[in-house]
């Protein structure tokens, strides 16, 4: 059985017209089958392939410095594909931005928002973001490192309940809901410790989300922002911003510079006030922003929540979801996209650095406030 996002089959690569090409700003992992094929290739192409590959840990990659792939042409196309055909390029290049995950008992298929075309489809289908069940059998293998069927289905039920509640709230309730969501994650992990179960977490169904309430102080903070200006700056300087972004993701780099220009000289108190002012000013000019952020969170949870099936960390999953909503909102305020295409490019640029970079996520998790 495959659960598939409604607009999965609508994706069509923009090719040379893509404003955020896959071949730029990323290291490209090469599957073992392709590595063997490239090592056997003869002539100038074989030499170029072997020079382009670099071993990083257990994997080989193209584009090790994440600037631009050697096979990226001036027309914005893949020279390797043009010369040898689509079946010859690495598997990740053939699949992206399609996300296909087989859990053994079912599979899920969606599109990654790190592609501007996929982000555009997300924006146009915000009224239909849920998976649709099919009777199809996945042709790709189960890659899960867990085989606990009961826990998998319990986690999926937990995700679906969170999404159902998100769909019911009004946009202005989003930040308080996210605060409750973080407390919910902590409650699940505390239940795990109290039950003395070290091998796996407690059944998430044992914690009732509706019983999670905010204190008066938490409600006051939620009405302003998800992270204070001090925490925002800590995250920006110790995980998000890097000088290499100037070449890897120029748009992301420029937005970071706008942040520093506005916040660097401010006191902590003034920075908090300015952050709140930015959010309220943008909300006034763009009344749909909270609804858009809610839909982004729904899509994020649907696509990535079941990571808890692999690492058992509800706190990490929902804390990172909170971070993404906060910083995506901040980037909207700093960049001020003008139309749907502009919004799609900004979301894709954000996702590329903030969600598809394990080093960035690990660094953010280290410095993220846990209270």
Q: Are residues 281 and 197 in the same domain?
A: yes
pLDDT the model gives residue 198: 43
Do 40 and 159 lie in a common domain?
no
Residue 36 lies in a domain: yes
pLDDT value at residue 19: 86
Q: How distant, in Å, are the alpha carbons of 34, 67, 89, 214, 359 from that of 63? A: 15, 7, 14, 46, 16
Is position 230 within any domain? yes
> Distance between CA atoms of 305 and 318, rounded to whole angstroms?
8
pLDDT for position 371: 60
Report, as an integer, the average pLDDT of 127-131: 92
Q: Indicate whether 7 belongs to any domain.
A: no
Domain boundary (59, 75, 95) is at 95
- At CB < 8 A and 24+ separation, what contacts does 312-316 make? 312/192, 312/200, 312/201, 313/189, 314/184, 314/185, 314/188, 314/189, 314/201, 314/204, 315/182, 315/185, 315/186, 315/188, 315/189, 315/370, 316/365
- On the question of pLDDT at 206 being above 80, the answer is no
Question: Which comes out higher in pLDDT, residue 192 or 98?
Answer: 98
Residues 290-306 have a mean pLDDT of 96
| Domain-embedded: residue 40 | yes
Q: Is residue 124 part of a domain?
A: no
Both 72 and 165 in a single domain? no
Q: Is residue 306 part of a domain?
A: yes
Same domain, yes or no, for 166 and 301?
Answer: yes
Average pLDDT over residues 197-203: 50
Give the tokens for residue 107. Answer: 């599979």
Same domain, yes or no: 78 and 200: no
Task: Flag whether pLDDT at 308 surpasses 50.
Answer: yes
- Res 228: pLDDT: 93
Residue bearing the bigger pLDDT, 207 or 291 = 291
Helix, strand, or coil (residue 110): strand
CA–CA gap between residue 133 and residue 315 (Å, rounded) = 28
- Residue 6 domain-assigned? no
Residues 283, 170 share a domain: yes
Calpha distance 146→74 (Å, rounded): 44
Q: Which residue has the higher pLDDT, 329 or 201?
A: 329
Q: Read off the pLDDT of residues 63-92 as tens digits, 9 standing for 90 and up.
A: 877 778 888 888 888 889 999 999 999 988
Among 63, 79, 95, the domain-final residue is: 95
Q: Which domain holds residue 42?
A: 23-95
Token pair in block for residue 301 = 């949870």
CA distance 319 to 322: 5
What would the pLDDT profile of 317-358 be if each residue is shown by its tens digit?
A: 999 999 999 999 999 999 999 999 999 999 999 999 998 878
Give the closest residue to 315 by CA, choosing from 168, 193, 173. Answer: 193
Do both 87 and 183 map to the same domain? no
- Which residue bears the tokens 């706190």? 315
| 283 band by pLDDT with thresholds 50, 70 and 90 | very high
For 225-279, the pLDDT digits (tens) are 899 999 999 999 988 999 989 988 999 999 999 999 999 999 999 999 999 999 9
The DSSP string of 311-371 is H--HHHHHHHHHHHHHHHHHHHHHH---SHHHHHHHHHHHHHHHTS-HHHHHHHHHHS---
| Total number of domains constituting the chain | 2
> Which tens digit of pLDDT belongs to each residue from 18-50?
888 888 878 888 999 999 999 999 999 999 999
Domain boundary (95, 112, 132) is at 95
Domain co-membership, 70 together with 204: no
Q: List, in order, residues 6 or more apart from 12 with CB less than 8 Å away.
A: 117
What is the reported pLDDT for 42? 92
Q: Are residues 262 and 343 in the same domain?
A: yes
Mean pLDDT, all residues of the chain: 89
Task: For 226-235, write each residue's pLDDT tens digit.
Answer: 999 999 999 9
* Range of weakest confidence among 52-61, 169-178, 317-326: 52-61
Residues 240 and 342 in one domain: yes
Within this chain, do residues 217 and 295 fall inside the same structural domain, yes or no?
Answer: yes
E strands, 23-84, are: 28-30, 54-56, 59-62
Which of 44-48, 108-112, 115-119 has the weakest average pLDDT? 44-48
Domain presence at residue 48: yes
- Say yes or no: 183 and 78 in one domain: no
């Amino acid at each position: 059985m495959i659960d598939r996002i409604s607009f999965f089959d609508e994706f069509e690569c923009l090719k040379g017209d893509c404003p955020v090409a896959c071949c730029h700003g990323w290291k490209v992992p090469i599957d073992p089958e392709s590595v063997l094929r490239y090592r056997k290739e003869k002539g100038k192409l074989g030499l170029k392939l072997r020079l382009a590959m670099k071993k990083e840990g257990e994997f080989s990659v193209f584009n090790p410095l994440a600037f631009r792939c050697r096979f990226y042409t001036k027309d914005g196309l893949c020279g390797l594909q043009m010369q040898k055909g689509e079946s010859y390029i690495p598997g990740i290049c053939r699949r992206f931005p399609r996300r296909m995950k087989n859990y053994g008992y079912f599979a899920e298929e969606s599109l990654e928002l790190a592609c501007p075309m996929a982000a555009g489809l997300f924006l146009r289908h915000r009224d239909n973001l849920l998976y649709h069940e099919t009777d199809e059998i996945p042709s790709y293998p189960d890659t899960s490192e867990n085989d606990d069927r009961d826990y998998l289905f319990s986690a999926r039920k937990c995700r679906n309940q969170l999404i159902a509640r998100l769909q019911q709230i009004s946009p202005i309730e989003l930040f308080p809901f996210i605060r409750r969501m973080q407390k919910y994650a902590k409650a699940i992990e505390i239940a795990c410790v109290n039950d003395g179960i070290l091998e796996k977490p407690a059944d998430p169904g044992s914690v009732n989300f509706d019983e999670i309430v905010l204190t008066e102080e938490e409600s006051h903070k939620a009405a302003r922002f998800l992270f204070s200006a001090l925490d925002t700056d800590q995250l920006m300087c110790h995980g998000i911003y890097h000088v290499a972004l100037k070449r890897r993701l120029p748009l992301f780099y420029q937005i970071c510079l706008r942040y520093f220009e506005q916040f660097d000289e401010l006191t902590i108190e003034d920075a908090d006030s300015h952050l709140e002012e930015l959010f309220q000013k943008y909300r006034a000019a763009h009344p749909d922003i909270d609804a858009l952020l809610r839909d982004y969170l729904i899509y994020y949870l649907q696509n990535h929540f079941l990571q808890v099936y692999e690492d058992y960390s509800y706190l990490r999953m929902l804390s990172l979801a909170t971070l993404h909503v906060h910083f995506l909102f901040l980037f909207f305020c700093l960049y001020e996209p003008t139309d749907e295409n502009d919004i799609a490019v900004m979301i894709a640029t954000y996702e590329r650095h903030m969600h598809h970079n394990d080093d960035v996520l690990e660094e953010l998790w280290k410095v993220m406030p846990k209270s």
